[in-house]
Homo-oligomer: A and B are copies of this chain.
Amino acid sequence: MLSASFSATLRVRLADRPGAFADLARAVADAAGSLDAIDLVRVEGGSKIRDVTVLAQDAEHLQRIVDAVRALPGIEVEHVSDRTFLMHLGGKIQVVGKTPLRTRDDLSMAYTPGVARISEAIAADPQSVWNLTIKGNTVAVVSDGTAVLGLGDIGPEAALPVMEGKALLFKEFADIDAFPLCLATKEPDEIVATVTAVAPVFGGINLEDISAPRCFEVEARLREALDIPVFHDDQHGTAVVVLAALVNALRVVGKRLEDVKIVVTGVGAAGTAATRILQAAGAQRVVGCDRRGALYAGRPDLVGVKLAFAAETNPEREEGPPDDVLAGADVFLGLSRPGAVTVEGIRSMADGAIVLAMANPTPEVRPEELAGFAAVIATGRSDYPNQINNVLAFPGIFRGALDVRATEITEEMKLAAAHAIAAVVAPEELGPEYIVPSVFNRDVVPAVASAVAEAAERGGVARRRREPVVAD
């Protein structure tokens, strides 16, 4: 796939003769690249200076395209700007004032002496911190950098661009002020202590890209310690969007969650959370698989989280590799890695098979290989139909939680979020290639936020009722 994320803008000097630009366009095409924006910068002597943006499919491909252009006679490449790197110079977010600070009066209200009155008011009534500070709309995006995207344990500094990106998504999709905190420790005790210490500033904590099994302990202890929502997005955000997709996929094939057999590959953070929410929604027959095959009660090597998982799943104690247990299954949910199952395995599934192959960027099985025998196929990618992306869930979930000042995010709130996402796709729109709304669908966040806020109120974890939302 050609992608803006692997694109560069080349400043080129072309001799002012017929065919000069055609040569460049041909070279890009021959290198299997694509031309995007083309701007004329200036005309200088006998040359034209242009900015030409090219799209590639990966970094190595991008380099090949640039090299091909450089090799052309009469065309000089003056400068290559990688668009993704350019966008990241100086970071992607900033902290700005909501109030001007131009005069002595402004200063005397926003800072001393006026601010002392606000501090005194909060000291007298601690709950007023929700009204009189940023707390009520602010979320910490916390990572220790141990499980960043598919890159693994790359450390807190290298995790920061991802957490900034997350903060950007929070703002753009849900008008939430999120700030990244990348921690220079991997010790659960220290992570818990640090987040607990900074919690007064925040209305919620979004944990991100913390590796299993530490992520389970960290989240559980923080939920216990804090009176604000703590939400590990890799677990629960993924679980919510998976359930949303599956609810609609089952409608497409005319099956019920209570009846279907679901095979899950990957029982890390995402796999365990997805299994839990599917069971909470009614699923009876889930079989989880790790690299050693199906998890079943009694499998001798299991300890900890996996031991508990095996006890609560796979009622028929099926054994064997994923391909084996896929035989006759209705749903395949891949939260693992490319190649975790084979095309033959998928082919052995029941009629009306649903395949949610979420490994990123390369799915467990390639959708084009399943044509004809899988009824519904979804991935995490934007270049296939049915992109299942956490962006559908976390902005609305936190928006709803903050709106009612929730003390936690309960299982009911997550279920409500999943059903709200699913419901954005109207019955008449629903089809094999449209089971989840686009991440840019503006109906998603308000729908999810409302459903989550109502579920919080019903569940008794709301500090206040939701204020009527005024449409823009």
Contact = CB atoms under 8 A, between A and B. Distances in A.
A95 interface: yes
Contacts of A151: 116, 119-120, 123
A7 to B, nearest CB: 8
Contact of A132 (B7, B89, B159): B89
Contacts of A440: 103-104
Interface in A184-200: 184-185, 190-191, 193-194, 196-200
Contacts of A84: 109, 114-115, 117-118
Given A133-B161, A183-B197, A197-B190, A117 B59 contact: yes
Identical subunits present:
2
B133 A157 contact: yes
Given A160-B200, A162-B119, A133 B88 contact: yes
A168 interface: yes
B85 A93 contact: no
Give chain A's interface secondary structure class. helix
Contact of A95 (B3, B95, B126, B131): B95
Nearest to A439: B107
B123 A155 contact: yes
A115 B162 contact: yes
A326 B230 CA distance: 57
A167 interface: yes
B193 A157 contact: no
A450 to B, nearest CB: 20
B101 A87 contact: no
Contacts of A119: 148-149, 151, 154, 158-159, 161-162
Contact of A3 (B108, B123, B131, B154): B108
A-side interface size class: 35 or more
Contact of A160 (B109, B114, B122, B360): B122
Nearest to A167: B95
Interface string A160-189: 111011111101100001111111110000
A95 B203 CA distance: 14
A172 B102 CA distance: 9
B157 A126 contact: yes
Interface of A: 3-7, 59, 83-85, 87-99, 101, 103-123, 126, 129, 131-138, 148-151, 154-162, 164-169, 171-172, 177-185, 190-191, 193-194, 196-201, 360-361, 382, 391, 439-440
The 4 lowest CB-CB distance pairs between A and B, nearest first, are A5-B114, A91-B134, A4-B105, A123-B158
